Amino acid sequence: MTPRVTGLWRHPIKSHGREALTSVRLEAGATMPWDRTWAVAHDASDVDGSAWAHCRNFTIGSKAPGLMAIDARLDDATGTVTLTHPDLPDLIIDPDKDGDALIAWSRPLQPENRAQSARVIRVPGRGMTDTDFPSVSIGNMASHRAVEHKLGQGLSEKRWRANIWLDGLPPWDEGDWIGKTVRIGSAEIAVREPVVRCLATTANPETGQRDADTLSVLNEAREFCVYGEVVTSGEIALGEGIEVL
């Protein structure tokens, strides 16, 4: 099988839903457009949106697994986001204006013994990815299937929250890309580091319930997928090929 793009995903509000795309334009030095544009800071954090901040400052799926079952749909023209969850009514918001509505809507998904959502923030010029540099994340479907085989159960790739999914590669091939550049469509991405995984991946993205010990079958460092930095702007679409430079 020729290696190709099989999935493109953005997550408009960090840990609060994902959206499938058919194509996207990546810009050098930037996160995927509208990916992690907003993040929900909790009441034990003092982040104010003036700069990038570590994920420990936010309400995320590792602490509140119910969030993993949220789907999102963003209107690029207006910045309006529609959120859906199997246990909640649909919500349509402008996160820049309706942060309180988002916090109220998602409150039933948050454990009472955890810090609670307090405010929605937005950092100018970049998404709130888990890296201190503007990154995109790349996953390998063969590695995903290897995890399924080790666990003895089927999994949705949505557990991993990667931006770009590739198929037609050997399992774990992406681990050898650190320090190399990958051309996907007309964009080029310098692969910088592995993604270190957390408890969010143990939750089923259809139900928000923890049902798979994903971390037990990864390596000791809990690495799965890779982070890269866009170094050449370009278009990516489903079905396009890739090349490791």
Which of 122, 153, 176 is the C-terminal boundary of a domain?
Answer: 122
Compute the distance between CA of residue 201 and CA of residue 68 in angstroms, rounded to an integer. Answer: 9
Q: What does pTM read for this prediction? A: 0.97
* Residues 80, 47 share a domain: yes
> pLDDT by residue (tens digit) across 14-46?
999 999 999 999 999 999 999 999 999 999 999
> pLDDT by residue (tens digit) across 92-118?
999 999 999 999 999 999 999 889 999
* Residues 185, 105 share a domain: no
Measuring CA to CA, how many Å separate 39 from each of 121, 137, 218, 231?
5, 17, 27, 25
Q: What is the mean pLDDT of each run of 10 residues along the chain (245 residues)?
A: 94 98 98 98 94 96 96 97 98 97 97 93 95 98 98 97 98 97 97 97 97 96 97 97 95
* Residues 110, 143 share a domain: no
* Residues 135, 230 share a domain: yes
How many domains does one find in the chain?
2
Which segments within the chain are labelled E, that is strand? 4-10, 19-20, 23-26, 38-42, 71-75, 80-85, 88-93, 117-122, 136-140, 164-167, 181-184, 187-196, 223-232, 234-237, 242-244
Q: How many residues does the chain have?
A: 245
C-beta atoms surrounding 180 within 10 Å? 12
Q: Which domain holds residue 46?
A: 38-122
